[in-house]
Amino acid sequence: MTLPSPAEESVRIAAARSRFGLPPAGPALSLAGDVGQRRYFRLSSKGGAPVVLVLYPAPASPAQDRWRVIGAALASAGVRVPALLDDDPASGVALVEDLGDRDLAGQILEAGAEERERLLDEAEELLVPLRQIARSAAGLNPPFDAAFFGAELAHTRRWALERDGRAPLPPDRSALWEELAGRLARDAADPALVGDPVPTHRDFHANNLMRTADGALAVIDFQDLRFGPPDYDAVSLRFERAGALAPAHGDAYAESVLLQRAWKVLGTFEKMLALDREVYRPHRDAAARAVRLWTRPDGPYRPLLAFLPG
């Protein structure tokens, strides 16, 4: 993951200020992103109100087009999303509404156990209108299927088990992992086991839910929305990151969906740690705990625990 140099970013920010009619001078506050390569900056509009400049890693990005189309579909379905104020895909820049800095994760961290559960219940209610978006928008990205889930687990093998090739699995354990991970991927994608696919945010965790000034919860980072298992967003919300701090009931969800997601994000966070991004260590630990806690002792995925990093 190669990040642009400060000089390169400064040039792009200056060009975007001119393109969007923003004041040419003033601070450009870098905002926390996540594991992707988009960069966010808080700027001031001509009237002094804060706005967010989004720098995509490349011009004409499919992700930028999907953000626009899916965002409009979510808004039409009644989901609060940041307003798109201006857009220049040819330059890989966009200007969006500034929702502030308070996300649901921060609220959960400050809340007691009962309030944490209430906050997660409030967030899960957003899945009702989210699932009502236009099917054309939900179909912009390929749906979750066994091959997709399997590729995610291969990523976990690379980063969590084999340390990016530094600790390859011996042949017997490699074959066992492939067998077990393959079954988990197939089961998590099987409608007969997990339910018919519904529109799925894909990363519906507490850091992607913002508390707006009017008190509503808004959804961000939705450009990867696609059809997937009904439990997928709920387990992302409740069993990873800050959501994992609330009382949990893993047996209420499809085990294969919960575990595939937990193993998947474990690999994501192990990669971030390998890149010296220590801020992700608590998230990595939460994913490992979810795997330990919600793998049934008598279930088909128990042998995978032998691969769980310490």
- Within 8 A by CB and 6+ apart from 199, the residues are 130, 131, 132, 133, 135, 138, 225, 226, 227
Nearest to 1 by CA among 240, 280, 224: 280
pLDDT by residue (tens digit) across 224-257? 999 999 999 999 999 999 999 998 899 999 999 9
Angle ∠(185,189,194) on CA atoms, nearest 5: 120
Q: What is the residue type of 141?
A: N
Task: Go through the domains of the chain in sequence order and give each one's CATH number.
Answer: 6-97 (3.30.200.20), 104-307 (3.90.1200.10)
The pLDDT score that the predictor gives to residue 8 is 87
**Average pLDDT along the chain, 310 residues, taken 10 residues at a time:** 76 95 91 79 93 95 96 98 97 97 97 95 98 98 99 99 97 98 99 99 97 97 98 98 93 98 98 95 97 97 96
Say if residues 269 and 287 touch (Cβ distance below 8 Å).
Answer: yes
pLDDT by residue (tens digit) across 157-172? 999 999 999 999 999 9
pTM of the predicted structure, to 2 decimals: 0.93
